[in-house]
Structure 1
Amino acid sequence: METRIDEIGAGVYRLSVFVPDAAPPAGFTYNHFLFDGDEPLLFHCGKRKMFPLVSAAVARIMPVERLRWLGFGHFEADECGSMNEWLAAAPAAQLAHGMVGCRVSVSDMADREPRVLSDGEVIDIGGKRFRYIDTPHVPHGWDAGVMFEETTGTLLCGDLFTRAGNGPAITESDIIEQSITSESQFHYTSLGPTTGSTVRKLAALKPKLLATMHGSSFSGDGATALNALGDHYDVLLHAALAGRKSA
């Protein structure tokens, strides 16, 4: 395996590791996003065993010890498995996550105390501004959240829009159909009464770039894509409820 580096925006780097046997037959990408600034931020620490690959990629862009912020969407191996390796490699770095995630997992598992972010709180890294947004149970657990980089219009949407395969770093093609296919294959979303509305709430940000953890990032009308994905989850929920009533 190797880490592919692509600059997908001004000072925005996608660091992608493709694992052919992770989701056969197409394989799976694990994407990490590095934002340059006065206080650089890495979103998705990645798996612990991938740390040598991803940290070597960061080192090709900037010294690893320059990192100041480490973010991720929820507590899971591919999101934050290597967080302590990053904290050791970057002495000034601090994890930043939502209150629930910090209280139930991160504060205990991390070697340094994290920065606890409230819903809507902004981190200014010098040249870029990250707004943290709570998205409970979207896509997975109670601790889930996303970050929106306001200056580039980049939504760091984690597992939303998950797609298998190893496509280009960035695409302008429709990603909804493939995302729906992935959902039907992996059933990775915690489906509930607020799933659709939580996804549609993100559409109000009108993101220009959807930085996805698995699959190509999407450049274009992010609001339309998010509304369509939210509507699809409503359809799934209504079908599940109808199935329970008829059982």
Structure 2
Amino acid sequence: MNDKLIAKNSYWVGYVDDRKVPFHRLTLEKGTTYNSYFLDTEKPTIIDTVDISFGRNFVEELKDYIELEKIQYIVINHVEPDHSGGLPALINKAKQATIVTTELGAEELKEMYKLHHKKFMIIKDGDTLDIGGKTLKFFETPFLHTEETMITYSVEDKVLYPCDIFSTHIATDKLFNDLAPEDITEDFKVYYSLIMHPHRPYVQDMIEKIRKLDIDIIAPSHGYVLRDKPKKYIDLYDEMSKPNKDKNALILFSTMTGNTKRISKHIAEELELQGIKTEMMNIKENVDIDDVKEKIKSSDAIFFGSSTRYADMVGGIEKVLKILKYMNLEEKLGIAFGSYGWSGEAVEVIKDYLQDTNIKLVDSSYVIKTTGMDNIKFPIRVKFNPDKENIEEVKASTRVIKDMLVS
């Protein structure tokens, strides 16, 4: 037990998975660990569990530390099954325990594991919990790397439990980074680039919160516990997630009654608000194609919009779309948008044109695969004149594009 001591009366109780682990459409050649932590206080507390495949094993091993029915709290920072998977087996034994998580986390856990009848404590950003001898402080960290995620800080121990954040995928029984047989920095960076980098604006939000904390140890949910130079790893995240503000967006649109132009303005305002230099162009029939080509070449994200008239596009937007397949758009984002009154075919026709190029077409599938967000819809389609609800949806979609640009 002393080998697994994280801080006073706080123990690692996870599982080492030394297989070549299939994970997020990758194979983890070095395996991984599923780190769970037991805080042996007056109100015994578990922070995160293990992968669902090892839930039964996890519960059996935990009996060496405590009689399971005495557990008072189970903190779930992140609901993915590699961290919450041991919860059903554990809560079946720890029948009096309260599950501590975010509001969305509670909703998802109830549905995933049929826990509707269990006790939940819903936390908000900055909430604290006295577990008898230790104080836990919670911070919501949405989209790191899913929307419900939070992190936990043990005030007296100065230990941060950030779940997936600051992790490495290495199967090890050495536990601490200062005991690692080799430098883990590269593995740390690889993990960041694969899991966290698509969400880098939210990384910056998280860093702003934890900068105020006195952190001696970072105890993540994969790989090594970082007790040697934890600030080094916070600084690495900060450096790797810093935005490059020299990004440009171009909004090309054709409009019939002005509704698509209004959408364009809302997109432009949101991008400018987020520090992305943006230009709008109303593409009419007599458009100067050479001028448009030059603007496309100097842009990182291009929005192509049109109203729908008789199931087709309007103005000169199709003239622009026809030249795209002859251009190299490999490093650019392409987004279709527009307004409509009935079925809105113009937006889909734009999407068809973009699919015939090497541009990175931002549709709902691309967003889910790159960010995990399933609540943002692309292309951007608005029926008639955008109302307040439509405008909020347009702005939410635009923020996703902005997040993709600040690499």
Residues 233 and 221 of structure 1, relative CA distance in 2, 3 Å threshold: same
Whether the aligned pair in 1 keeps the contact of 2:15 and 2:50 (CA below 8 Å) is no
Equivalent AA in structure 2 for residue 164 of structure 1:
H
Residues 161 and 131 of structure 1, relative CA distance in 2, 3 Å threshold: same
TM-score normalised over the length of structure 1? 0.86
- C-alpha separation in 2, matches of 1:240 and 1:31: 39
**Structure 1 unaligned blocks of 5 or more:** none
Equivalent AA in structure 1 for residue 215 of structure 2:
P
Other-structure match for 2:355: none
Other-structure match for 2:95: 91
Other-structure match for 1:178: 187
Alignment of 1:43-58 (within 5 A): 43-58=47-62
Equivalent AA in structure 1 for residue 190 of structure 2:
T
Q: Deviations over 1:75-123 (max 9, x none)?
A: 2101212322222101111100122322x41344424131111211111
Alignment of 1:111-130 (within 5 A): 111-130=117-136
Equivalent AA in structure 1 for residue 211 of structure 2:
A
- From 31, 35, 38, give the equivalent of 1:31: 35
- C-alpha separation in 2, matches of 1:175 and 1:121: 33
Whether the aligned pair in 2 keeps the contact of 1:196 and 1:231 (CA below 8 Å) is no
SS for the counterpart of 1:212 is: coil
Task: Give RMSD over aligned pairs.
Answer: 2.6
Structure 1 residue 32 displacement after superposition: 0.6
SS for the counterpart of 2:139 is: strand
Q: Select the structure with the greater relative contact order (CA < 8 A; seq sep ≥ 6).
A: 1
Equivalent AA in structure 1 for residue 120 of structure 2:
P
- From 139, 148, 158, give the equivalent of 1:143: 148
SS for the counterpart of 2:226 is: strand
SS for the counterpart of 1:187 is: helix
**Structure 2 unaligned blocks of 5 or more:** 22-26, 249-298, 302-330, 333-407
Aligned length: 239
Other-structure match for 2:7: 9
- C-alpha separation in 2, matches of 1:222 and 1:200: 16
Q: Deviations over 1:191-246 (max 9, x none)?
A: 24332232342132121110011111011443442133122112xx5399579356
SS for the counterpart of 1:217 is: coil
Equivalent AA in structure 2 for residue 196 of structure 1:
Q
Alignment of 1:81-230 (within 5 A): 81-102=85-106, 104-108=107-111, 109-110=114-115, 111-137=117-143, 139-167=144-172, 168-172=174-178, 176-184=185-193, 186-230=194-238
